[in-house]
Chain A
């Protein structure tokens, strides 16, 4: 690698405080651990995203392809000021979200990918992402867009986001904004989590990011029946 040239290609970075991990009790009673992923975790996250790349259902393909590229770009220093949060249950990776700081005041929400469905895992991870932007990074607002009807319903409608002029970095639909005021107005209703995470749960989560088999991931995201019909 030509480091002299690399210096020009790598974007500058804004210092970001780390996201403090939390645990969320799901409807099943399981504990979802939400924590920050590092660049070293990206290869395993890409493995989890790969099965989604050709799944048109609910726009998993578009979200998967773009998330794959964004994480790869972050790992190899081609995306500026990005962060990634992951959700794990007993070590198993069940969802990924990413985002970036456009400036110290403005955040840009990128993508939300739920691998386990039907438990609001995507919603919990999205909420964690907003929590990080507003509460920990101290930003004034986050620009959000949606590529799927589920995303539109979850973000724009559940948070009653403010529509904005202009474009989101992802292109596509109009951008909407989660302001600090909107975040705190919705926090009690939509943002879950307890801290600190029980040490034994954190240990399991940090020990290994377990990725389900490709077959399992496809079953989960496509809602294929898991049991043999009698």
Chain B
């Protein structure tokens, strides 16, 4: 395999974007990535779009073809790649393979979702389509409900408390304040969401023990990267940030079939694959973007990826070790919790944030001297997970 460089990155602010169609958003992010790379008229061999459910959210499919047309990138190959909330990560992986194999020299990968076209309960229902139809969905299970049950088990096993979860919310919303692309730009306090006797009114239950501020918002948005060969990257003269490790692993569709539902095996395996390919260890990572669709996931993923021993992730958050300036800053972008989670866009947005961090272009949320970055894109409820290691080459 030959090296693959993230030569250009771009995204649009995640928020409710009534005025833009899905393809508008994909196009805006894609153009930003190509502009960032300074790619000019160089041909793009393929366009991969990470998107979970445009047919259900927006009554439009074949969005990759539509994007090529909108950007006038003919005759680039075009594919939409769907892997639930890890669609963006899967699109990145496929783009990587296409360039690494030598099949294409430049691939545009765009992730996007327009979820606010439907009302909140409908969006929750659409996302729940990824659950097992007969074993889960028909019983009314939603992703927040699964996360709630998972949280109960995790609390029992590892002593995680609602205060630990609140630490994740507060940290990520603090980080979101530093990210102009973040959907939620609002500081919250422990008193306001947990300790005040009436905090339950501000922060109502969504799926016990998860409350409103434990859950990511429903967002519209898109993010894009231009992946190129090293030869093309050298011509473009952009900072050399490479994808040096990729892992992907699956697990059972239903949670009930897992011997220990708190054991996120796919996270562990995908992370180990990515670290192995990069030839580094978790302790070599300087900044991480994890898939905190629910606060408990940031804690559990930080342990399963190998950054902290099992049962220690929550304590690390409480000690401030995962804040910007801490031992391992996690989700300096605000994560899904504050940046937002337009499902198909998330995996790509994580890579965009890492590239900004590794280039030293992350503004107020910059992690000092970051060289190695890690991202984890969590599909289903941990049944299809992708992990990436990025490195700024000297």
Q: Which residues of A contact B (CB under 8 A)?
A: 24-30, 57, 118-120, 124, 149, 153, 189-194, 223, 225-230
Contact = CB atoms under 8 A, between A and B. Distances in A.
Interface stretch (B11-19, B64-72, B279-287, B297-305): B11-19
Given A189-B204, A223-B16, A27 B361 contact: no
A34 to B, nearest CB: 13
Contacts of A225: 13, 15, 180
A143 B196 CA distance: 32
Contact of A226 (B16, B184, B185): B185
Interface in B188-202: 188-189, 191-193, 196, 198-202
B198 A192 contact: yes
Given A29-B189, A225-B180, A228-B180, A24 B198 contact: yes
A142 B188 CA distance: 33
Which 6 pairs between the two chains have the least Cβ-Cβ distance? A29-B189, A227-B180, A27-B192, A27-B202, A192-B201, A192-B198
Nearest to B188: A27
A118 B196 contact: no
A153 B191 CA distance: 26
A28 B187 contact: yes
A120 B201 contact: yes
Interface string B98-127: 000000000000000000000110000000
Of the candidates B193, B199, B202, the one having the most CB atoms from chain A within 10 angstroms of its own CB is B202
Contacts of B15: 223, 225
B188 A28 contact: yes
B192 A26 contact: yes
Contact of A29 (B13, B16, B192): B192
A25 B181 contact: no
A57 B18 CA distance: 9
A25 B180 contact: no
B188 A229 contact: no
A8 to B, nearest CB: 46
Interface residues of B, number: 28
Nearest to B196: A25
B133 interface: no
B213 A230 contact: no
30 contacts: A24-B198, A25-B191, A25-B196, A25-B199, A25-B202, A27-B188, A27-B199, A27-B213, A28-B186, A28-B187, A28-B188, A28-B189, A28-B192, A29-B188, A29-B192, A118-B186, A119-B186, A153-B119, A189-B200, A190-B201, A193-B198, A223-B15, A223-B16, A225-B15, A226-B185, A227-B180, A227-B185, A229-B13, A229-B180, A230-B361
Given A225-B180, A229-B181, A230-B180, A29 B186 contact: no
Contacts of B16: 223
Contacts of B189: 27-29
Nearest to B190: A29
B203 interface: yes
B363 interface: yes
Interface of B: 13, 15-16, 18, 119-120, 180-181, 184-189, 191-193, 196, 198-204, 213, 361, 363
Nearest to A25: B196
Contacts of A149: 119
A177 B196 CA distance: 31
A74 B97 CA distance: 69
Contacts of A189: 200-201, 204
Contacts of B181: 229
A124 B180 CA distance: 28
Contacts of B120: 153
A25 B13 contact: no
A230 B188 CA distance: 24
Nearest to B200: A189
Contacts of A227: 180, 185
Contacts of B186: 27-28, 118-119
A26 B187 CA distance: 11
A57 B213 CA distance: 24
Of the candidates A24, A25, A27, A119, the one having the most CB atoms from chain B within 10 angstroms of its own CB is A27
B184 A118 contact: yes
A124 B198 CA distance: 12
A27 B185 contact: no
A46 to B, nearest CB: 27
A192 to B, nearest CB: 4
Contacts of B191: 25, 29
A25 B192 contact: yes
Contacts of B363: 230
Contacts of B203: 27
Nearest to B361: A230
A230 B178 CA distance: 11
Given A149-B119, A226-B185, A230-B361, A26 B202 contact: yes
Nearest to A228: B180
Contacts of A192: 198, 201-202
